[in-house]
Amino acid sequence: MKKKLFKTRLLSFAAFCGLTLAITSCANEDVAQNPNSTDNDKNLTTFTAGDPSTRTSMESDGKFFWEAGDKIYVKDDNGIWHASSNSPTSKTAYFKFKVPGTYTAHMSYKVYYPGQSGNKDQVTISANQSQATPNTTTHFGTSGDCGMATATRITGERNFNFTLDHKAAYLLFLPRTSNTILQNCYLTKVEVNSDNDITSTYTLDPVTGKLTGTGTGKQIVLTTKGSGTYANGFPLTNSATSAATNGSYVVIKPGTHTLKIRYWVKDMVTNVEGTITKILSSATYDQNKYYNITANLNVRDYDGDHYYMWDAQKQYWDGYEWTKNNPSYQPTQIGITSIFYPQSKATSPTRWYNDTAFGPGINNHAIHSCKIAPNANEMTWYVMKGDPRRDQDEVWTTMGHLQKSGVWLLKKAYISGYSAEHAADGTTDFRTVTYKSFIKLLSQTPPSASEIGKYFFLPALGFYAGGVSHNLGIEGNYWSSSAVVYGGKEMAFNLEFSVSFIELYYQGRLRGKRVQAFE
């Protein structure tokens, strides 16, 4: 199952460890935490989990362990649920659970492990999971790991042995990056979004041998922060897959899911924190299996060369680009000023705007840089019918810095009625008539995993005015290919969005705004 550089690979836990599922004696180094039976245990029955594959956390070398606080549940001969009266006090490779109740009527009983957040046969797969150190699974018990087993009596004894069969599915996220900006960032969260439920409270069903029930939770967030070295998150310094560097585990409900993964990264220098989104095709995630999900993290990089006065022949900073490493040239941060912007047609004729004066009834189209942009009619369709959605957290880079936020718009192929010949009102032709605005509030919900292929992203790249950088990472400003009919030679239409709204508007042609084709 692959999508470009994003792939998954599955193995059963047992195969991963190189272990069989048959009950075996414990290895020599396996030491039980609880002592031999005493008088206090005379009314308790022992259920022993001795097979290494039954434990509830996994180390990087493939060994499994029971963790502090783990309990099992068993129904006795009277149909009464009992939790084990003891539990490990720390990580251990072997444990004898002591369970109250009477267990004499049968040679075998069902054992339930609902995780540390569950009860009896009820399992809660948590929507908020947390991992403090890379490539560790000590959080499995509180995250929703669960299982069932048939415990079989040892002949002539009050002891039963069992091998736990895990009933959750497990995702191991393995991000890497060769992007030098991202390598200085930290992974702070992994957000898993599904087209159906992956988190809720479910039932361990002994008949089907599966988790049953339908929940409503479609999002799980794994926080990847600890202390010391990992106080800021897991590092992204690896250009090759490395579980030791940032391996991150998430417990989910088994099933067929379409997953959208958002990797949260933070630049500790600029304090910008946002997401890099990856999409997995629909796939089946089976119980008792884990899936390696590798991701080559990169972000959209937007150059500084596509800011123009309206329909100028050359870009706003032509000859004075930020890449020339002169701090007095093109500003790369909000509020910075440079004197090298185009100040007049006489001094900067190729960087100056197209100052043709159009009149009513004349098709006022661009002929230079802006001719690739949508016309004003088309931009009304994106504004009014393009289902615009603000994404405050999607990260990208421009001019050497990590930035975030932008708007998702439907691609024109998915906009019903889309036309370059008239506006979204069905009648007005903005190319030939006087100005009329279109404005719409933005949805604050980014597209779902199943929707996102219908959308394209416009970053909040701001604009330049008078040589000053404005609203980078806050606002988007994109020239259309249409000048405004009235107002002589001063105005042109542009698409503009802020945090809460998007609109077709007009601005002075001398501003440096982004120019590009739309999808």
Model confidence over 201-217: pLDDT tens digits? 999 999 999 999 988 99
Nearest to 91 by CA among 47, 61, 58, 50: 58
Q: How far apart are CA 116 and CA 254, in angstroms?
A: 19
Distance (Å, whole) CA 17 – CA 455: 42
pLDDT at 12 over 70: no
Domain boundaries, the chain: 2-166, 171-299, 302-514
pLDDT score of 2 more than 50: no
**Residue 350 scores a pLDDT above 60:** yes
- What letters, b where the CB count within 10 A reaches 16 and e where it falls short, cover 364-385? bbbebbbeebbbbbbbbbbbbb
pLDDT of residue 313: 99
- pLDDT value at residue 92: 81
What size, in residues, is the chain?
519
Tell whether the model's pLDDT for residue 15 goes beyond 50. no
Helix, strand, coil proportions of the chain in percent (round to 5)? 10, 40, 55
Q: Is the pLDDT of residue 56 over 60?
A: no
Nearest to 516 by CA among 472, 475, 479: 479
Place of tokens 């994109």: 478
Would strands 45-49 and 301-302 be described as parallel, antiparallel, or unpaired?
unpaired
pLDDT band at 268, cuts 50/70/90? Answer: confident
Q: What is the DSSP string of 353-387?
A: -------TTS--B--SGGGGS--HHHHHHHHHHS-
Q: How far apart are CA 382 and CA 405, in angstroms?
A: 18
In the block, tokens 């001719």 appear at 371
On the CB side of 13, CA atoms within 13 Å amount to: 28
The answer to whether 215 touches 257, Cβ cutoff 8 Å, is no
SS3 13: helix
For 479, half-sphere exposure in the C-beta direction (CA atoms, 13 angstrom radius) is 35
Tokens of 16: 């991963």
Specify the amino acid at residue 123: V
CB 188 within 8 A of CB 273: yes
So what CATH class is 171-299? mainly beta
Mean pLDDT of the 321-347 span: 97
Contact of 483 with 432, CB cutoff 8 Å: no
Going by pLDDT thresholds of 50, 70 and 90, the confidence category of residue 487 is low
Structure tokens at 467: 């040589």
Residue 197 scores a pLDDT above 80:
yes
Q: What is the pLDDT of residues 23-35, one digit of tens each?
A: 222 222 222 233 3
Strand 301-302 with 389-398, pairing: parallel
The pLDDT value recorded for residue 186 is: 97
Q: What is the mean pLDDT of residues 346-353?
A: 98
pLDDT (0 to 100) of residue 358: 73
Contact by Cβ (8 Å): 379, 424:
no
**pLDDT of 459 strictly over 60:** yes
Reported as a pLDDT band with limits 50, 70 and 90, residue 415 is very high
Average pLDDT, the chain: 88
Question: What was the pLDDT predicted at 39?
Answer: 41
**Could you give the CA distance from residue 455 to residue 478 in angstroms, rounded to a whole number?**
17
Q: Of 28-42, 186-200, 433-447, where does the model show the most confidence?
A: 186-200
- Alpha-carbon torsion (416, 422, 426, 428), positive or negative: positive
Distance, C-alpha 519 to centroid of its chain: 23
pLDDT in tens, 95-149: 899 999 999 999 999 999 999 999 999 999 999 999 999 999 989 999 999 999 9
pLDDT digits (tens, 9 = 90+) for 368-379: 999 999 999 999
pLDDT of residue 21: 24
Task: Give every CB contact of residue 58 below 8 A, 6+ residues apart in sequence.
Answer: 13, 16, 17, 64, 65, 137, 140
- Enumerate the H helices of 44-151 as residue ranges: 140-143
- The pTM score is 0.73
Query: Picking from 40-49, 66-75, 103-112, 327-336, which range would have the lowest pLDDT averaged per residue?
Result: 40-49
pLDDT at 460 over 90: yes
CA atoms of 437 and 493, how far apart (whole Å): 10
In angstroms, rounded to a whole number, what is the distance separating the alpha carbons of residues 101 and 78?
8
The closest alpha carbon to 260, from 382, 145, 394, belongs to 394
